[in-house]
Structure 1
Amino acid sequence: MASSAGPSYPDRFYLAAKYASIPGTCEGAEDRVQPPPLRDDSKLVLYALYQQATIGPCNAPKPWSWNVVESAKWTSWNALGRTAPVEAMRLFVRTLEEEEPDWFAKATEGGITLNVANGAPDSSPKAPGPEAAVPQQKAPAAPAPATTAKEAANGATPVVASKPEVKEPEVTRVESFRSISKFDQWISPFVSGRRPPPRYQHEVAVVGDQLFVVGGNSGGRYLNDLWVLSLENFTWSRVEQIGPAPPSKEEDAPLLAPPPLPPLAGHSIIASGSTLLAVGGHTKEPAPTVQVRSFDTTTSKWSILETTGDAPAARGGQTVVKAGSRLVLFGGEDRKRKLLNDVHVLDLETKAWDSPSTSGAPPSPRCDHTATLHNGRYMLVFGGGTLANCYNDLHLLDLETFEWSRPETHGDTPHPRSGHASVAIGDTWYIVGGGDNAHGIADTLALNLNSFTWSVAATVPTKTSIASEGLSVVAAYEEGLVAFGGYNGRYSNEIHVFKPTPVEKPKPVMVRSKSAENAAAAVAAKSPSKPAPEKSTDPPKKPSSAAAPPEESPVEATRPSREAAENEKRAKREAEAKSRAEEEARAKAEDERIARVRQEMDGKSKSAIEAAVKAKEKAEAAANAAVAELAKTKQELNALKSKRLDGHQELETARKALASEQQRCFQLEVEVSSLKQQLGNVEALEQEIKLLRRKAEQSEAAAASAKQQQQSGIFSWITGTPQAPSPDEPRS
Structure 2
Amino acid sequence: MGSKPWLYPAPTYRPIESFWDTDEDAPGPRCAHTLTAVAATKSHGPRLILFGGATAIEGGSSSAPGIRLDGVTNSVHSYDIDTKKWTRIKPAGDPPSPRAAHAAATVGTMVVFQGGIGPAGHSTDDLYVLDLTNDKYKWHRVLVQGQGPGPRYGHVMDLVSQRYLVTVSGNDGKRTVSDAWTLDTAQKPYAWQKLNPEGDRPSARMYATASARSDGMFLLCGGRDSSGTPLADAYGLLMHRNGQWEWTLAPGVSPSPSCPASAVKHPHSYASSSSNFPPLCGQVGAVLGYIMRMQHI
Same structural fold, with TM-score higher than 0.5 when normalized by the shorter chain: yes
Give the Cα–Cα distance (whole angstroms) in 2 for the partners of residues 288 and 492 of structure 1: 24
Give the Cα–Cα distance (whole angstroms) in 2 for the partners of residues 272 and 388 of structure 1: 32
Q: Indicate if the aligned counterparts of 1:309 and 1:354 stay in contact, CA closer than 8 A.
A: no
Residues 384-423 of structure 1 aligned to structure 2 (within 5 Å): 384-386=223-225, 387-400=227-240, 401-409=244-252, 412-422=253-263
Give the Cα–Cα distance (whole angstroms) in 1 for the partners of residues 22 and 285 of structure 2: 20
Structure exhibiting the larger radius of gyration computed from Cα positions: 1
How far residue 289 of structure 1 moved from its aligned partner, in angstroms, is 6.1
Unaligned runs of 5+ in 1: 1-182, 245-259, 423-473, 504-732
Aligned residues: 251
The C-alpha deviation readout for 1:305-357, integer Å capped at 9, x for no partner, is 00012211210111112123211111001123x10000111122321111122
The C-alpha deviation readout for 1:336-393, integer Å capped at 9, x for no partner, is 3x10000111122321111122223311100011122235332221111124311111
Give the Cα–Cα distance (whole angstroms) in 1 for the partners of residues 184 and 121 of structure 2: 23
Residues 129-528 of structure 1 aligned to structure 2 (within 5 Å): 184-185=14-15, 187-191=17-21, 193-194=23-24, 195-207=26-38, 208=40, 209=45, 210-219=47-56, 220-221=69-70, 222-244=72-94, 260-284=95-119, 290-297=125-132, 298-323=135-160, 324-336=162-174, 338-348=175-185, 349-350=187-188, 351-386=190-225, 387-400=227-240, 401-409=244-252, 412-422=253-263, 474-476=264-266, 478-487=267-276, 488-503=282-297
2:207 aligned partner, one-letter code: D
The C-alpha deviation readout for 1:465-487, integer Å capped at 9, x for no partner, is xxxxxxxxx224x2322234522
In angstroms, what is the RMSD of aligned CA positions? Answer: 2.3
Distance change >3 Å, CA 363–CA 290, structure 1 → 2:
same
Residues 578-727 of structure 1 aligned to structure 2 (within 5 Å): none
The C-alpha deviation readout for 1:1-55, integer Å capped at 9, x for no partner, is xxxxxxxxxxxxxxxxxxxxxxxxxxxxxxxxxxxxxxxxxxxxxxxxxxxxxxx
- State the partner residue of 1:597: none
1:374 aligned partner, one-letter code: R
Give the Cα–Cα distance (whole angstroms) in 1 for the partners of residues 202 and 50 of structure 2: 29
Q: TM-score, normalised by structure 1?
A: 0.33
Q: Indicate if the aligned counterparts of 1:218 and 1:491 stay in contact, CA closer than 8 A.
A: no
Q: Which moved more, 1:287-296 or 1:317-326?
A: 287-296
How far residue 234 of structure 1 moved from its aligned partner, in angstroms, is 1.1
How far residue 284 of structure 1 moved from its aligned partner, in angstroms, is 3.5
3-state secondary structure, aligned to 1:197: coil
Distance change >3 Å, CA 408–CA 494, structure 1 → 2:
closer
Q: Indicate if the aligned counterparts of 1:280 and 1:290 stay in contact, CA closer than 8 A.
A: yes
1:475 aligned partner, one-letter code: K
Q: Indicate if the aligned counterparts of 2:77 and 2:86 stay in contact, CA closer than 8 A.
A: yes
How far residue 235 of structure 1 moved from its aligned partner, in angstroms, is 1.5
How far residue 226 of structure 1 moved from its aligned partner, in angstroms, is 0.6
How far residue 229 of structure 1 moved from its aligned partner, in angstroms, is 1.5
The C-alpha deviation readout for 1:424-450, integer Å capped at 9, x for no partner, is xxxxxxxxxxxxxxxxxxxxxxxxxxx
Task: Give 1 or 2: higher helix fraction.
Answer: 1
Q: TM-score, normalised by structure 2?
A: 0.77
How far residue 263 of structure 1 moved from its aligned partner, in angstroms, is 0.8
1:359 aligned partner, one-letter code: E
1:277 aligned partner, one-letter code: V
How far residue 414 of structure 1 moved from its aligned partner, in angstroms, is 1.8
1:203 aligned partner, one-letter code: T
The C-alpha deviation readout for 1:247-283, integer Å capped at 9, x for no partner, is xxxxxxxxxxxxx221111112212222111111122
Task: Give 1 or 2: higher strand fraction.
Answer: 2
Give the Cα–Cα distance (whole angstroms) in 1 for the partners of residues 48 and 210 of structure 2: 20
Q: Indicate if the aligned counterparts of 1:327 and 1:345 stay in contact, CA closer than 8 A.
A: yes
Distance change >3 Å, CA 345–CA 190, structure 1 → 2:
closer
Q: Indicate if the aligned counterparts of 1:289 and 1:312 stay in contact, CA closer than 8 A.
A: no
Give the Cα–Cα distance (whole angstroms) in 1 for the partners of residues 275 and 158 of structure 2: 21
The C-alpha deviation readout for 1:140-185, integer Å capped at 9, x for no partner, is xxxxxxxxxxxxxxxxxxxxxxxxxxxxxxxxxxxxxxxxxxx623
The C-alpha deviation readout for 1:680-711, integer Å capped at 9, x for no partner, is xxxxxxxxxxxxxxxxxxxxxxxxxxxxxxxx
Distance change >3 Å, CA 190–CA 292, structure 1 → 2:
closer
Query: Which protein has greater RCO, CA pairs closer than 8 Å, 6+ apart?
Result: 2
Unaligned runs of 5+ in 2: 1-12, 57-68, 277-281
3-state secondary structure, aligned to 2:52: strand
Q: Indicate if the aligned counterparts of 2:28 and 2:287 stay in contact, CA closer than 8 A.
A: yes
Distance change >3 Å, CA 190–CA 373, structure 1 → 2:
closer
The C-alpha deviation readout for 1:94-144, integer Å capped at 9, x for no partner, is xxxxxxxxxxxxxxxxxxxxxxxxxxxxxxxxxxxxxxxxxxxxxxxxxxx
2:172 aligned partner, one-letter code: D
Q: Indicate if the aligned counterparts of 1:198 and 1:485 stay in contact, CA closer than 8 A.
A: no
Identity %: 22
